[in-house]
Amino acid sequence: MKPMAHLGVGIGWRPEIADAVERLDGLDWVEVVAENICPGHLPEALERLRERGTRIVPHGVSLGLGGADRPDPQKLAALGERAVALGAPLVTEHIAFVRTSSPVLEAGHLLPVPRTRDALDVLCENVRIAQDALPVPLALENIAALFSWPGEEMTEGRFLTELVERTGVRLLIDVANLHTNRVNRGEDPAAVLDSIPLEALAYVHVAGGVERGGVWHDTHAHPVPPVVLDLLAELRSRVEPAGVLLERDDDFPPEAELAGELAAIREVLTAGRTAAPGSADGVGAQTEARQVAATWARTGAGDEGGRTRVGLAQAALLSALVAGTPVPEGFDRARIRVQVRALAAKRADVVAKVAPELPGILGGREPYRKAFLAYAKGRPMTAGYRRDALDFAEHLLIQDLPADPAARRRLTAWWRERAGARPPRRIVRWARALAGRAA
C-alpha cells in the first residue's frame, strides 16, 4: 500500500465556524460533510480556503456501506463529484449502516454493524463496489456505539484488519470513538491499535464527548478530554499519522478555544515516537488475515443468503430503534433504550436545523421539542430530514394543532409553501386522526 500523502493538522469545516477557521494559524487542511455541499456552488469561505492552497477532504455520512443493500449508484456518483470539485486526495465514509429497505427505515445516525462473517462479506463487497465507482481512494472510519450486537464472531481489530486485507481500503481511525467503545462496550483501544494494519491509516479524528450514567456520548459538542489525547499519543507511539483532524459539530466554542485544542493535538504529535510501529500481536493478526483473504479469494464473496440474513437482523434492530417494535433477542435492552432516546433527540435537533422556523412557530425550543418527540414516537423517518419536517408539520395540522389559531395559520402557510399543496381538508384530517387512533 502506497504511503498516504501528508495532510498535517486540520479541523472539520462547518458554516458556523467558517470565519474562525479562516483565521486559525497553521491550519493545514479541512474536512467537510460531503452531503452538506453542492459542487459548483461551494460556500465562499471554502472557495477562499481552496485558493489559499488548503486541502479539503469530503467526509460522507449517508452511504451506509455496512448495510445489507448494495451502495446506491447515485450516492456514490454524488460523493465522487464532490471529491473532483474539491480536488480532494481521497474521500472518507463510515463502517456503519444507516437504513433498511424492507421495511423502508432511516436511522438518521451511524449504527454499528455486527462483527460476523456474513456482515464482513457484505461490507467487503459494498466497499469494492464503492471503490470501483469513486475517482479517488476511499478510507473508512470506525464508529462510536452505544451497544453491542449479540453473537459477534470477531474483535474490532480483527474485523478492521480483514476488511483492509480483503479490499485494500484505507482506515480513518477516530480515537474518540475508541474511547467511546471502551466505556460503552468494554473494548481495549490499545488492543485495537496493536492489531490493525497501521500502514493502511489515512488519517485520524479527535473529538469530545460526555459521560452520562455510565454511557459515553460521542457528542462532538464538548472539549476534547485528556483521555482522548492520551489515545492519540498511544497511536502516535506506533505510527506517524499523515493527518489528524479536530471535529466539532455543535455548541461551538470561541475561536481561541478551537486554537487551543489544535495546539494540544500538535503537542501530542511532536512529542516523539516512543515505540516501534506495530507489535507481535499486530503482525500475527495481519498474517492470519492474509490467510483468510487468500481463502476468501478462492471461494468467492459469499452468497446472497448472507446478505439476506444481515438485512433481516438490521431491519429488526432498526425497527426497534425508530418504530417501537420489540427489541430483538440478545441485545442489552437498557442500552437500546438509551439509543432510542438519543436517535429521537438527534432527529428533533436536525429537523430544527433544516427547518428553523418550526420552533418559532410552535412557541420556542421546548414546546417544539415536546411536540416533535411525541410525533416521532412510532413514526419512523423514511425519506430524510426535510421530508420529516414536512411530515411533522402535516401531522400537527391534521390534529388542528398548534392550538393558537395564529400559530396554526403560520404553520399552514409554512407547510403549503414547501409542500406545494393545500393542507388536508377538515374531513380528511378527522379521517386520518381516527385512523391513527384506531391503529
CA atoms of 357 and 226, how far apart (whole Å): 38
**234: enclosing H helix or E strand:** helix 226-238
Find out whether 314 and 97 touch, Cβ atoms under 8 Å: yes
Q: Environment class of residue 8 by beta-carbon count within 10 Å: exposed (0-12), middle (13-18) or buried (19+)?
A: middle
Categorise residue 91: left if φ over 0, alpha if ψ from -120 to 50, beta otherwise.
beta
CA atoms of 365 and 73, how far apart (whole Å): 38
Find out whether 28 and 262 touch, Cβ atoms under 8 Å: no
> What pLDDT score was predicted for residue 293?
44
pTM for the full model?
0.87
CA atoms of 170 and 137, how far apart (whole Å): 8
Q: Environment class of residue 333 by beta-carbon count within 10 Å: exposed (0-12), middle (13-18) or buried (19+)?
A: exposed
Cis bond before residue 254 (omega within 30° of 0): no
Per-residue pLDDT of the chain (439 residues; tens, 9 = 90+): 777 889 999 999 999 999 999 999 999 999 999 999 988 889 999 999 999 999 999 999 999 999 999 999 999 999 999 999 999 999 999 999 999 999 999 999 999 999 999 999 999 999 999 999 999 999 999 999 999 999 999 999 999 999 999 999 999 999 999 999 999 999 999 999 999 999 999 999 999 999 998 899 999 999 999 999 999 999 999 999 999 999 999 899 999 999 999 999 999 999 855 444 443 333 343 444 444 444 444 344 557 899 999 999 999 999 999 999 999 999 999 999 999 999 999 999 999 999 999 999 999 999 999 999 999 987 899 888 999 999 999 999 999 999 999 999 999 999 999 887 655 555 445 445 444 544 4
Find out whether 9 and 27 touch, Cβ atoms under 8 Å: yes
* Beta-strand pair 97-101/201-206: unpaired
Distances (CA, A) of 307 to 167, 208, 233, 280: 18, 35, 38, 34
**377: enclosing H helix or E strand:** none
Among all chains, which residue has been given the C-alpha cell 456482515? 119
Q: Amino acid letter at 352?
A: A
CA atoms of 178 and 143, how far apart (whole Å): 8
Distances (CA, A) of 424 to 378, 400, 433: 22, 11, 12
